Amino acid sequence: MATLLYVAHVLCAVVWVGGMVFAMAVLRPAAHEALEGPQRLAMMAAVFRRFFRLLWHVVPILILSGWAMLFGWYWGFGASIWHVHVMHATGLAMAAIFAFVALVPWRRMRAALEAGDRPAAAAALDTIRKGVLVNMVIGLATVAVAAWGRFGG
Ligand code: HEM
């Protein structure tokens, strides 16, 4: 059971952080290169609709599996596992940023697109981009800390 939780946890981290790296480092610059403003907005909306829907499932599994390991395996906050304590804090911060992005600017972007208000949609998309970028940096640092803490001492 512990192994299953561990595998689920790491897979969720891969999907979340890998998805953000792909969106920020590959998809967004490619969309700027290949598409005009209106098509770019439509495509990024279609991309984030799917990605955020996926993350509403992946993020809870990541956090619940992390808690299950922390409390069921390491017996909670007292254990001297500095990398897990750092991961716990950054993981909760990332989840809060995700919830904000998916509930505030993403809703604003959809409403603006429905109303045909492209400047408002572009402004909301820029806020989404900043949130995803911050989470990508924290996510990469979290994976580095997690791996370092486990094997680097
Ligand atoms: C509520 C938040 C989280 C908790 C309580 C948590 C807890 C844990 C625990 C207990 C382990 C096993 C550690 C070990 O045996 O050494 C682990 C592993 C791991 N976690 Fe998390 N985690 C959380 C969030 C995250 C997030 C947000 C990421 C990635 C962005 C992440 C990535 C990883 C990775 C890559 C491992 C495997 C490396 C390792 O075992 O140290 N975790 N996590």
Q: Tell me, what's the pLDDT at 1?
A: 81
What Rg value do the Cα atoms of the chain yield, rounded?
Answer: 17
| Residue 37 lies in domain | 2-151
CA distance 121 to 141: 30
User: Cα of 131 to ligand 1 centre, how many Å?
Assistant: 21
Mutation probe of ligand 1 site: the residue of 20, 84, 90 with most atoms within 8 A of C-beta: 84
Per-residue pLDDT at 33: 97
pTM confidence score = 0.93
Which residues fall within 8 angstroms of residue 93, CB to CB, at 6 or more apart?
138
The reported pLDDT for the residue numbered 152 is 72
Could you read off the pLDDT of 34-50 as tens digits, one per residue? 999 899 999 999 999 99
The predicted model gives 61-87 an average pLDDT of 87
Q: Whose CA is closest to atom 41 on ligand 1?
A: 146
* Dist. CA 138–CA 50, nearest whole Å: 22
Q: What is the mean pLDDT of the chain?
A: 95
Per-residue pLDDT, 74: 74
Tokens representing residue 70 in the block: 């922390």
| Average pLDDT over every residue of 121-140 | 98
Ligand 1 center to residue 70 CA distance, Å? 9
Number of structural domains found in the chain: 1
pLDDT attached to residue 81 = 84
Q: Using CA atoms, how far apart are residues 149 and 153, in angstroms rounded to an integer? A: 5
DSSP letter (8 states) at residue 23: I
Query: Where does the pLDDT of residue 9 fall: very low under 50, low under 70, confident under 90, or very high at 90 and above?
Result: very high
Give mean pLDDT, residues 104-119.
98
Q: Is the four-CA dihedral 63, 64, 67, 73 of positive or negative sign?
A: negative
Centre of ligand 1 to C-alpha 100, Å, is: 22
For residues 87 and 148, is the Cβ–Cβ distance under 8 A? no
